[in-house]
Amino acid sequence: MSYPRDFELPPPALQFLDRLHDDGKTNATLRRYAYDLADFYHYLRAAGYDSAVEIPKALTGEETEHFFEHLRHSRNYQLRTLKRIHTVLNQYFLYLREQKEIAINPVAYTSLNEPVWNELTPEQLVSEKEMQQLLESVEGKNGLSERQQQVRPLLAPRNLIMLKLFRYYGLQMQELSQLGRDHINLGQGTLSVGTAHTETREIVLTKSHQRELNTYVNAIPEPVRPKPGRGDPLWVAFDFQRQTYRWNYEADAPKQLSEVAIQKMIREEMKRAGLRSGLTAQHLRHTFIIRELEKGTSPEMLETKLGLQSSLALERHLNYVGAKSQ
């Protein structure tokens, strides 16, 4: 089936629509799906997420969240319309997962059930008390089995510095998960951070965070430790059964810790610390952005700091700080 040229749909979206056509969807339904998908991709281009248009794996979930914020704030869409579009995107991303084009559903964490789902609230931020409680828990042994306690000296430094990179530097999940050993300078304490749709930038760590990153890297046994100049990943997967870090024999390099594994780690650490359920890396990033704005960091400076290509990504944060100051 053909669709209007101005829909500008990439091949995976066209293939998805063809699948719906083969499943017996009506032409009216197909046109509605095509329109919603084209609207989504048009937003990605306008907001600077060009790579996510060409490479589905580049989607992190943050783009879809911003897309729905844009629909609510800029277009004043009603909740029923937003839910319909959410259903379209959800089915599309499930199709992409089936085709192994993506590993994670980008709209999985975008809930439209909350009355003010698209507005930041204090509940979507991590308080200083909660953060302190989390960090203390990571370094402690409360709630760990005897076997888990044995390997904690290896995992705690890694988990600690990851959580701090989200909270105190505002890294996106994809930015953190894709860090390689060549992206860090342990001597100078700098990170080269970026993804396909964020500007590459250099982050300077505080002295204490620099030491914690060094502790994590040096705690890995030398034979499987990530080394510079080889394209090794920074975050190495851990084998709990053998109680050692894993090796990728095909790549002849340390096995990279997956994004899914990082998300699981965060959920487990939040739960063990006794914090509210549902807290994620996104909440830590939101907290970083809000605290920066509250300190007086300009939106333009923050865009540069975060490697953003459009101010649309800060819309909800600016609204939150603006409403709070009134």
Q: What does the pLDDT look like over 143-179, one tens digit per residue?
A: 888 888 999 999 999 999 999 999 999 998 889 998 9
The pLDDT of residue 6: 46
Distance CA 282, CA 176 (A): 12
Using an 8 Å Cβ cutoff, are 61 and 110 in contact? yes
3 state SS of 74:
coil
Mean pLDDT for 293-315 is 87
In this prediction, residues 113-120 reach a mean pLDDT of 59
DSSP string covering 1-58: ----GGG---HHHHHHHHHHHHTT--HHHHHHHHHHHHHHHHHHHHTT-HHHHH-GGG
Across the chain, what does the average pLDDT equal?
Answer: 88
Per-residue pLDDT reduced to its tens digit, 118-129: 578 898 899 999
Confidence category of residue 189, pLDDT binned at 50, 70, 90 = very high
pLDDT of residue 50: 80
